[in-house]
Each structure stands twice: as structure tokens, then as C-alpha cells.
Structure 1
């Protein structure tokens, strides 16, 4: 059971890292909007919203998986 929880935790952690890395920072968005260098600024809203939502889900899932793993580990030791 612990192996399954560890695998799920690792996959959620990788998903969390990837979703955070793929997001643009607020400074990049602001400078692109002011400088006019980003031609896809109107289409980025849906992508950024999706990444923000995925980040929240991965973070909540990772916290739940780690908590369940800790409870299982403490109950067996």
C-alpha cells in the first residue's frame, strides 16, 4: 500500500513541478503587454487559467497523498 501511495505522490509532485514551470510570471506578462512583444496575449488567458487550475489540483492531491501516506506509515510502526 505504501508503494502505491509513494508512486501517486511522485507523479503528483512531477505534475505540480511541470505545471508551475510552464506558467509565465506576472512580470513577463506585464512587460509583454506594455512592450507589445507578445502577439498571443489575448489567447494566454485560457492557458494560464488552465495551468493555475492544474497547479491547485496537483498541490491538493499531493498534500492529500502525503497525509494519507503519513497516516498509514504511523499506523504500521
Structure 2
């Protein structure tokens, strides 16, 4: 489990917006495997990769704003 409760925060966002998918891996398989699994699991018009998270709430909100701006074009 992460020290910053990343999974819990992402699940909260999923409950508010079912278009957000969350994949929980059984252990740390590394970045390449995690991204591959996420891409395989994803559906929709966009995939947002968040590789380095300093402030999850701010970064996630920013990504959603960008996605909404692109979608409204």
C-alpha cells in the first residue's frame, strides 16, 4: 500500500466518474508492466499516464481539465 493513499484517491475519483478506470496490481511489477496492463484495460478516446505523482489531487484535476478541453473542441 502506498504512503499517500493513491489507490484510495483514484477509487474515489472512479466513484464520481465511471469513465475513470483503476487497476490494482497484486505487487510492484515495474513501470513497463503497469503501463502495459493499464493500456490493455483502457477504453475510450484517451489514456492519461501519470508517471510521477507529487500531488495526486492537483495533477489528476489538471489532467481531467485538459481532457475536457480537448473533448470540447
**More relative contact order, 1 or 2 (CA 8 Å, 6+ apart):** 1
Q: What is the TM-score when the length of structure 2 is the normalising length?
A: 0.30
Task: Decide which structure has the larger Cα Rg and report it.
Answer: 1
Instruction: Name whichever structure is richer in helix by fraction.
Output: 1
